[in-house]
Structure 1
Amino acid sequence: MMPSLFLSHGTPLLALEKNSYTSFLKEYMKVMNKPTAIVILSAHWESKEQLISAVSKHEVIYDFAGFPEEIYQVTYPASGCLELSDKILTLLSKIGILGELDDRRPLDHGAWGLLHIMYPEADIPIVSLSISPDLPFAKQYEIGKVLGDLKKSNVLIIGSGGIVHNFNHIQEDMNVAEGWAISFEEWVEEKIMNWDMETLVNYEQMAPYSKDAVPTKEHFIPLVIAMGSGDDNKKPKLLHRTFQYGNLSLTAWQFD
């Protein structure tokens, strides 16, 4: 059965970078079975109501400014999958979430930045889902749990966010990781490996340096959803972790 993933998406420049993380993403896809479709939940698509993309062909949005011109040339013209969008709508209704289909939403950099690296041919249908930060973590986990049913149909579920992700703290010229960022990442790792959801979702009160690592929770929510999609087996695997700019973590988790 297809696993699900949590992947850090770093900065928009990740799509152009050549580093150990982008190399890992490329190599991992080579050994992984090719999915029939991908469902991706990006921290950069926030909405009060649950939205599900329902487009025939994806466009992209450059939801940032001030970067080199080359990044604005990246496109990702993958097709959508209306049948899958409808199925997700039905699955979410089972847990009391009345989603809405969105036939205009382009892919943001939290989605296309990763997909451009992983599947550059853009030949796999994509459905993106918004994230509602107002929902409690228990409900976010439920969303992942019902989406996990799609794995049986060879659908890859990706939560795209960041565990240590605070642009106010990044050090552009620093090539080693700061201790506080490592401490928070290792705390999260322990809770994931023990599947200690109760403690994990209370990271704000219980984790070291939580306010520095997670200033706003929209980048942490995709991790909880990805874990929910692995609820049946509860077999987490840390695939990769490096840091950029002193404290921006590039982390990949697999949930079977």
Structure 2
Amino acid sequence: MSLPAYFFAHGAPSLVLEDHGYTRFLKDFAQTLPRRPKGIVIFSAHWEAPVQQVCLVDTYDTIHDFYGFPEEMYQMTYPAPGDAALSGKVAALLTDAGITSERDTERGLDHGAWAVLKLLFPEADIPVVAMSVNRALSNGQQYEIGKALGELRKQDVLIIGSGGIVHNLRQIHWNAGPDHVEAWPREFDAWIARRLENWNTDELFRYRELAPFAAQSVPTSEHFIPLLLAMGAGDAGRKARRLHQSYQWGTLSLSAWEFQ
């Protein structure tokens, strides 16, 4: 049985310090896997590049790409090892699918990657291949990148997209309590969920014109793209299951999806 692919919302960088239902879900997640992954391929919304980047490093530096957070955040590290062989497999699969890629031998893990991984696998002892996203591509092209890597799931490689389905920082209400959630993010999330569960890619790829509150929920697409990449990696089975849904600060969606 292949490992599923996953999409995880990474929320704010402070996610690693927070204690609520979503962080507890992430901390318990590894126990739900059928076996320990041999490697992780992770796409982060916070690494954008015009050509698909595939990391090839010995050990990752930790990028603190945020400001105004508690000092503890800037002392955190996630020195995950790289994996040259896995990086090579990723590049080869992309080439076979007609997708151009480049090796990056310097970049560390940004908070879109390490903040999630630190909760999922706190020991930082599973090899990681970090991947970029490109918002200039069509939604169908995003899906095809994920699909090209789906074969890795048979080799016990965990494919993760890290972003956010509803992610509009201008619409966040920092003083909102955990029980206050506006209606529009719920409506958009529900629309997306139905398309994922029915594997309706035709409508999903057209979410900007079809979904309610799409422009408000996805003002720019870099946080939505990892969902499509993770879904594409599940193309062989085409089974989507929502594992968690909650909200922060009135509008920020914290969701987790599994693609078998």
Verify same fold: TM over 0.5: yes
2:59 partner SS: coil
Distance in 1 between residues matched to 2:129 and 2:31, nearest whole Å: 22
Which of 150, 169, 172 is the equivalent residue of 2:171? 169
| Aligned: 1:67 with 2:69 | yes
Deviation at 1:48, TM superposition (A): 0.4
Equivalence map 1:44-83=2 (5 Å): 44-83=46-85
In the alignment, what sits opposite 1:5? 6
- Counterpart residue identity of residue 29, structure 1: A
In the alignment, what sits opposite 1:190? 194
Distance in 1 between residues matched to 2:224 and 2:198, nearest whole Å: 18
Deviation at 1:203, TM superposition (A): 1.0
Which of 164, 180, 183 is the equivalent residue of 1:179? 183
Deviation at 1:222, TM superposition (A): 0.5
In the alignment, what sits opposite 1:108? 110
In the alignment, what sits opposite 2:253? 249
Distance in 2 between residues matched to 1:24 and 1:67, nearest whole Å: 23
| Aligned: 1:28 with 2:29 | yes
Deviation at 1:146, TM superposition (A): 1.1
| Aligned: 1:201 with 2:205 | yes
Question: So what's the TM-score if we normalise by structure 2?
Answer: 0.97
Deviation at 1:31, TM superposition (A): 2.1
2:171 partner SS: coil
- Counterpart residue identity of residue 107, structure 2: R
In the alignment, what sits opposite 1:98? 100
1:168 partner SS: helix
Q: What's the % identity of the aligned pairs?
A: 48
- Counterpart residue identity of residue 155, structure 1: V
Distance in 2 between residues matched to 1:205 and 1:4, nearest whole Å: 27
Encode CA deviations 1:151-172: one digit per residue, 9 max, x unaligned. 0000000000100001001011
- Counterpart residue identity of residue 189, structure 1: A
Question: So what's the TM-score if we normalise by structure 1?
Answer: 0.98
Encode CA deviations 1:45-100: one digit per residue, 9 max, x unaligned. 00001111000001111111111111111100010001111111110012222211
Equivalence map 1:111-126=2 (5 Å): 111-126=113-128
Distance in 1 between residues matched to 2:75 and 2:182, nearest whole Å: 33
Distance in 2 between residues matched to 1:184 and 1:23, nearest whole Å: 25
- Counterpart residue identity of residue 244, structure 2: H
2:227 partner SS: helix
- In angstroms, what is the RMSD of aligned CA positions? 0.7
Distance in 2 between residues matched to 1:244 and 1:103, nearest whole Å: 35
- Counterpart residue identity of residue 135, structure 2: P
Distance in 2 between residues matched to 1:108 and 1:121, nearest whole Å: 17
Which of 126, 129, 136 is the equivalent residue of 1:127? 129
In the alignment, what sits opposite 1:238? 242
Distance in 1 between residues matched to 2:28 and 2:59, nearest whole Å: 27
| Aligned: 1:156 with 2:138 | no
Structure 1: which 4+ aligned runs deviate by more than 6 Å? none
Distance in 2 between residues matched to 1:10 and 1:206, nearest whole Å: 25
Contiguous gaps of at least 5 residues in structure 2 = none
